[in-house]
Structure 1
Amino acid sequence: MKETESEWQPQVRAQARQRATSSSGLVISCRTYFGFGSYGTSDAGRVRDLTVAVSPSHAALILAEREQRATDSDLHEAVAEAIADTYFRQGGGGCADL
């Protein structure tokens, strides 16, 4: 069983990476803290669950960094940029400074 699994699993992962970087992108789900107003207002900061589908180009960058054994900090930056671009800037066309 282990021999088959060791041969099969890398192929499945490679196919998933190929799909993510060429057509489907990645779905990133995280828990984050953000807000826009002062404490006690409806826009006050709070923890939110966020699920974002990022583009294949962002997926390619994240997966390439992961394969190059990037640090958690480097991966955090790449994922944060992908989420910011998708969620706040609508694929680069919204508020570029966010």
Structure 2
Amino acid sequence: MGKLRDSLERASEAAATRPIPMSAGARMRFLVRSEKGSTRAVAARLGVTQRTVERYVKGTLRRPRPDLAERLEREVRKDWQPRVRQRARKRAATSTGIVIETRARFGFTAAPGSTDDARMRRITQHLPSAYAARLFDAQAAGATEQQLRRIAAEGLQEIYFKDRGRRAHDLAVEFTDIDYIELDF
């Protein structure tokens, strides 16, 4: 996965109102419930045997190996509070928008006489809900990391660099070399 796609997932997970279950048994029971009682499906998701899942559910196993504990936490976070996450995404796509904080290399295609050399910039910018909706729709449609970057670059270009159309009318922004990116909604 790419940095922007991962950041969208982390922002969505941060919208949860309650923490995920703490013990391995409680996490396994949650996954079994989310898979409608199928320990076989949970075992396939985690890469363990069905019997191992049953032992955690029953309580005979309590402390998973570090790699299993990491996979278990990741899978629980994927399914935790889906309606709360969906409401937060809908609110961002319709009214509140999204905040992008990034350190990346921005290159420009601009009018003659101005510099177009790419350079690292740290930017924190609120993007309107239209860009958030486009990002969410593209992510749901299975867009590539490059397509997601193009949408984010267009939003930063219009809001940050062009100041909502008040300056730099011929400017085109390229969003490359992402050092880090964090999204919040």
Q: Summarize deviations over 1:20-56 as a string: whole Å, max 9, x none.
A: 111110001111234865xxxxxx8642211110001
| Corresponding residue for residue 20 of structure 1 | 92
- State the Cα RMSD in Å: 2.5
| Corresponding residue for residue 133 of structure 2 | 60
Please report the TM-score for the alignment, with normalisation by the length of structure 2: 0.43
| Corresponding residue for residue 158 of structure 2 | 85
Whose RCO is larger (CA < 8 A, sep 6+)?
Answer: 2
| Corresponding residue for residue 41 of structure 1 | none
2:81 aligned counterpart, secondary structure: helix
Cα distance between partner residues in 2 of 1:34 and 1:46: 6
**1:10–1:32: structure 2 CA closer, same or farther, 3 Å change rule?**
same
**1:92–1:65: structure 2 CA closer, same or farther, 3 Å change rule?**
farther
Structure 1 position 71, deviation (Å): 0.5
Q: Summarize deviations over 1:62-93 as a string: whole Å, max 9, x none.
A: 11101111011111101110111110112234
Structure 1 position 12, deviation (Å): 1.4
1:33 aligned counterpart, secondary structure: strand
Contiguous gaps of at least 5 residues in structure 1: 38-43
State the number of aligned residues.
92
1:74 aligns with 2:131: no
1:19 aligned counterpart, secondary structure: helix
**1:67–1:92: structure 2 CA closer, same or farther, 3 Å change rule?**
farther
Cα distance between partner residues in 1 of 2:165 and 2:97: 16
Structure 1 position 60, deviation (Å): 0.7
Give the 4+ runs in structure 1 shifted more than 3 A. Answer: 3-6, 34-37
Percent of pairs with identical residues: 34
Please report the TM-score for the alignment, with normalisation by the length of structure 1: 0.76
1:47 aligns with 2:110: no
Q: Summarize deviations over 1:6-27 as a string: whole Å, max 9, x none.
A: 4x52111111111111111000
Task: Supply the AA of the counterpart residue of 1:24.
Answer: T
**1:92–1:14: structure 2 CA closer, same or farther, 3 Å change rule?**
farther
* Bigger Cα Rg: 2
